[in-house]
Amino acid sequence: MSIKVLFCDVDSSLVPEESEPWDWSLFAKLAEMIRETGRNGKLRIGLCTGRPQPYVEALMKTLGITLPAVCENGAVLYDLHTNRAEFGPGVTSSKIHALNRLKSMLIDRLPREFPEIIYQVGKEAQLSLYCARPERLDAVMSLISHFAEQDPELDVTLAKTNYYLNIDLRGVNKGSGLRAVLARLGIAREEAAFLGDSSGDLTARDAAALFTCPSNATDAVKAVADYVSPYPVTAGALDIIRYLAGS
């Protein structure tokens, strides 16, 4: 069975994670290639990211992506055709309330105790913290773990990317979100590939038949990838799409 869809992580996979403008010519090439492979039916591209729905919607429209997206690391699913966003499998109202208690603690204490750590606004059922010096995120990880121990309804997992600490509801991840989207599309695991670069992407490893990564991926990701592009980030994504579309 051949690969029909490629779901992609965004940061450090399609575009740089650093907070600076993207290389427009490379990004334009990516948008053109995604539109072309979609038009000729060779490969359809989807997004599977920790980013919030409004960011994902804008990126989908820019890149010409129409497959449903996994946002907030599986906590939110978004359909562009119907403009409908909904919570992903495993997200319940009581879990969101518990996460909101953690959120309240963080927005209260971070500015006083960890002023370099930025709370990322705009998420509904998952939290992310940003720090330009990511080693500083370790201290806040202990604070979160200690807080979670005191709240029996709060059950989260913590995962670092290059610059972010992601706080996910346990069992809600890119893999659970991707499985839900593939089931909705009627696409078998054997027809799906994934592109990712960091540890959070490994939750999608089993949801897709083929796992690919750019050259900048972590060693742990490269070790389990079926295809490692010789190129980083956007150039890597272009290479991977060409590789899968057979052109």
Other beta carbons within 10 Å of 42: 16
Under the binding rule (CB under 5 A), the answer on residue 57 touching Mg ion is: no
Q: Among 190, 210, 174, 13, which Cα is nearest to 89's?
A: 174
Size of the site for Mg ion (CB under 5 A): 6
Under the binding rule (CB under 5 A), the answer on residue 239 touching Mg ion is: no
Measured between alpha carbons, how far is 47 from 60 in angstroms, rounded to an integer? 8
CB of 175 to Mg ion, least distance (A): 15
Angle at 48 between CA 31 and CA 110, to 5 degrees: 110
User: Phi, psi at residue 114, to the nearest 5°?
Assistant: -135, 65
Q: Show contacts with Mg ion in window 161-220 (CB under 5 A).
A: 197-198
CB of 62 to Mg ion, least distance (A): 18
Under the binding rule (CB under 5 A), the answer on residue 9 touching Mg ion is: yes
Among the listed ranges 13-21, 37-45, 82-90, 187-195, the one in contact with Mg ion (CB under 5 A) is 13-21
Instruction: Supply 13's token pair.
Output: 């996979």
- Report which DSSP code applies to 163: S
Instruction: Supply 14's token pair.
Output: 């399609």
Residue 161: exposure state from Cβ atoms within 10 A (0-12, 13-18, ≥19): buried
Looking at beta carbons only, is 72 or 197 nearer to Mg ion? 197
Looking at beta carbons only, is 12 or 229 nearer to Mg ion? 12
Under the binding rule (CB under 5 A), the answer on residue 12 touching Mg ion is: yes
Under the binding rule (CB under 5 A), the answer on residue 49 touching Mg ion is: no
The DSSP bridge partners found for residue 168 are 157
Looking at beta carbons only, is 13 or 176 nearer to Mg ion? 13
Under the binding rule (CB under 5 A), the answer on residue 11 touching Mg ion is: yes
CB of 9 to Mg ion, least distance (A): 4
Q: Which residues bind Mg ion (CB under 5 A)?
A: 9, 11-13, 197-198
